[in-house]
Every structure is written in C-alpha cells, then in structure tokens.
C-alpha cells in the first residue's frame, strides 16, 4: 500500500468560494503548477465535474490520466483514478474543508502509485511537492479573487 501525503492550510474565504476554485478544473494550469491541462469529460447531476482528464508534469512524474470525483457538497471532494496513465497506476486524494472563524481550513491528502519502479523517498518528495504547490496555489487563487 502506498504512503499518504497530507498537508493543510487556512484560506481567508468561505467554503463555497474555496470549493468553486477546486471545481474549476480548466483553470488548474493557471494555479496548480504541475497541471499542464485539465479537461472535464463528464459532470454529475449537480453539474460538478465527475471525470477529468489531466496532463501532469511534476518532474519525475509526468503522465496523462483520468480521475473520477465524488463531491460532498462544500465539505470536501475525493478522487481516484478512472483511467490510469502510463506512469500513474493509482492516484487517490481528497480536499476536506472546515469552516473556521477566520476562513476555511483545507486539508489535502494524496496517495500516488506508479507503474514504474521509483525509490520511495523520491516518490514521497514528488507527492509532497504536488500537495504543497496545490495548497499554496489554491490559497493564492481563492484569496486573489
């Protein structure tokens, strides 16, 4: 089983504003550094993205794959691989949002399994870079609106 990478940040905005940025996948290349493109393939009954095809370039991890999303209103969203890529065999993660007095606490959790052998330390470092960059980018994007 793969190791999980988790990190959190507090964003000075309500959960709906944070979730609106998380759900706006076509804009990911503007703020999520390693995402080169994100194309919504299908949406659920509420109009939120259900499957999204990504092109990722995170240095040692570069691939194209499709993720399936499960939304929990404005409380969070989780995802898992719907169609693996050549390198990414499994990818699971979530954003969990909790309202605080000063905004929203956002926790990002990510697990990546690769189909190519990679030293665990390097893989965990790549996961940490993805998580930290995503949280910093999300915070800057939401607070800059």
User: Using CA atoms, how far apart are residues 46 and 48, in angstroms rounded to an integer?
Assistant: 6
Domain holding 13, by residue range, is 5-143
Show pLDDT as tens, one digit a residue, over the chain (145 residues): 456 889 999 999 999 999 999 999 999 999 987 899 999 999 999 999 999 999 988 776 789 999 999 999 999 999 999 999 998 888 899 999 999 988 999 999 998 887 777 666 666 777 777 788 889 999 999 998 7
Q: How many domains does the chain have?
A: 1
CATH classification of the domain holding 76: 3.30.530.20
The residues near 91 (Cβ < 8 Å, ≥ 6 apart) are: 65, 67, 79, 80, 81, 110, 111, 112, 113
DSSP state of 26: G
């Amino acid at each position: 089983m793969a190791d999980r990478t988790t990190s959190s940040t507090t964003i000075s905005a309500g959960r709906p504003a944070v979730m609106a940025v998380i759900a706006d996948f076509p804009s990911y290349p503007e703020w999520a550094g390693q995402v080169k493109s994100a194309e919504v393939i299908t949406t659920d009954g509420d109009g939120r993205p259900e499957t999204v095809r990504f092109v990722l370039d995170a240095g040692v991890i570069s691939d194209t794959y499709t993720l399936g999303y499960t939304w929990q209103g404005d409380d969070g969203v989780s995802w898992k691989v719907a169609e693996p890529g050549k390198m990414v065999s499994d990818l699971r993660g979530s954003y969990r949002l909790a309202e605080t007095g000063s905004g929203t606490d956002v926790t990002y959790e990510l697990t990546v399994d690769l189909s190519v052998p990679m030293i665990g330390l390097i893989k965990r470092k790549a996961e940490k870079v993805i998580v930290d960059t995503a949280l910093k980018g999300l915070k800057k994007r939401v607070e800059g609106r």
